[in-house]
Amino acid sequence: MGAATSPTGTPSRRPLWFALGAVGVVLVVALIVVLVVWRGGAGTPTGSNDTLPGTRPTPSATAEPQAVAPAAPAVAAGPRPTDCEAIYSPAMLATLNETGTLNPDWAEKDAASGVLVGTEDAELSTLIEGAEHLTCVWGNPDGGSGSGLTSNVVFVSAEQLETVHQRLLALGENCYEELGGIRCVAESAESGEGVAGESHFLRDGIWLATHYVNAGPDGYTHDMVGTIWAGA
């Protein structure tokens, strides 16, 4: 027998398997890269609603507390005259001009005289001076005399209005309901010096405070009420 010989096909098949093995490795590596990239992209949240299972979303910012506006003063809605001529009817204004002058210069210059306030009570005077108000003085144009009157149109809250009412009651003034509000009056006994008194009217955030000495035509307060609340 002759010597055995190696199969002629073996040398050519070994390089082929080597090549196929190399190609397979490349394909496996490529597949791993694709899987990693694909899984990495899917696992990364793309928006605020993409959350991982078992986790809770957290707010991106804390809401600022809203400021609360302060409550407005409880002032009753009502008329708001801006000058003394607006609180009298034309007829009453004509009558008052016959016997005196509206807001004479001396009254404004002599504030210490007390004629600028429509009451003699210190507590009520302080309330008038601390609130928004009109001052309407009728007196002698040449200076102080034995007659004249002062009316304050005072703009107050409902609570202040009740405070005034209670103070007038405590002072012993006669208070009663009239013309849609509360009227309080007090008058001194007539003497050789004449008569002095006060008239107060409370309604809709307005306090009409009047102090008079030997002055004041009949129906004075009623005329103010009818003019200020005309049509009400």
> Quick one: pLDDT at residue 193?
77
Lowest pLDDT segment from 47-51, 88-92, 164-168: 47-51
Alpha carbon separation from 176 to 68, 128, 130, 142 (Å, rounded): 41, 21, 26, 38
Q: Do 84 and 103 form a contact (C-beta atoms < 8 A)?
A: yes
Distance CA 83, CA 99 (A): 20
User: Is residue 166 predicted with pLDDT exceeding 50?
Assistant: yes
Q: Which residues partner with 137 through β-bridges?
A: 150
In whole angstroms, give the CA distance from residue 141 to residue 137: 11
Could you tell me the CA-to-CA distances from 181 to 9, 201, 203 in Å, in that order?
128, 7, 5
Q: What is the DSSP letter of 5?
A: -
Question: In whole angstroms, how far apart are CA 105 and each of 110, 163, 198?
Answer: 9, 32, 23
Average pLDDT score over the chain: 77
Which residues are CB-neighbours of 83 under 8 A, at least 6 positions away? Answer: 134
DSSP 8-state assignment for residue 31: H
Delineate the domains of the chain, giving CATH numbers in brackets.
Answer: 87-228 (3.40.1000)
The pLDDT of 21-40, averaged and rounded, is 40
Instruction: Give the ranges where the chain is alpha helix by DSSP (H).
Output: 10-43, 90-99, 105-109, 122-130, 158-170, 220-228
- Residue 125 near residue 96, CB atoms below 8 Å: no
187-227 pLDDT, tens digit per residue, is 987 777 789 999 999 999 999 999 999 988 999 999 999 99
Q: Is the pTM of this model over 0.85?
A: no
Q: Which pLDDT band holds residue 23 (cuts at 50, 70, 90)?
A: very low
Report the b/e string of 166-205 with b at 16+ CB within 10 A.
ebbeebebebeeeeebbbbbbeeeeeeeeebebbbbbbbb
